[in-house]
Structure 1
Amino acid sequence: MAQAFTPAGVGLRPFSVAHVEQLWRRPRTPGDLIIRWTRRSRALSADNWRGLEVPLAEEIEAYEVEIIDAAIVKRVLSTTTTSALYTAAQQTADWGAPLTPGDTLDIRISQLSALVGRGAAKTVTLIL
């Protein structure tokens, strides 16, 4: 029996990022926040334990970091590296003041693909 099938390109979608880091793990004063992560790759050569960084399987390296409040996206940070800067001025515009120690921040990071758009997202809650 024949079945209709429409390919969705899921096999081409970039993997979610890994190892999201808070570079402010020590007590800090309010100010700019740096969010960093590790890229993952669909490339066959990415499964090599000797490499320092996995090869880029996309045409360009690009990411979007969504700053989330409940289900609302307050801001999208775009970057071409595996880190993003969330400035004190942006925090003030989003929250009324820079975030302080003890606050939490929900973020969603997606690698972008020229072929299929956003890849699988990584959602984390950072504790400042």
Structure 2
Amino acid sequence: MVHNFTIYNLGTKNVECYWFDETTTDLKASTYASFYIDYLKKIIEDCPKDVVIYSDGCTSQNRNVVVSNALLLLAIEKNIVITQFFLEKGHTQMEVDSVHSIIERNLKKVVKYFCLVSTLR
């Protein structure tokens, strides 16, 4: 199974998708912590400044001690403040959801195409 962890930068409107399958990594909190740290290091490398993260309440991805400790360690290393807000349950519509919608629409087109090709052969 293939998974996608998406980060949407509200300031720049840039999107970063981390695609992975379960043969390369697992769905543990440390996987998601690695994605956060990789992305944040890239954006604060040129211009170290404080960061605000808005997350849904998904425990395995966002709301856990592993991610919190990774963000804390990065904040200490880079001498910045990283604040993470969690959206209220039931009110988790975010800009990143539009990215997921576009990906899903395009994947449906690809699946439809492959179904058509396989029936023509």
Regarding TM over 0.5, the answer is: no
Q: TM-score, normalised by structure 2?
A: 0.26
More strand by share: 1
Structure with the larger RCO, 1 or 2 (CA within 8 Å, 6+ apart): 1
Q: TM-score, normalised by structure 1?
A: 0.25
More helix by share: 2
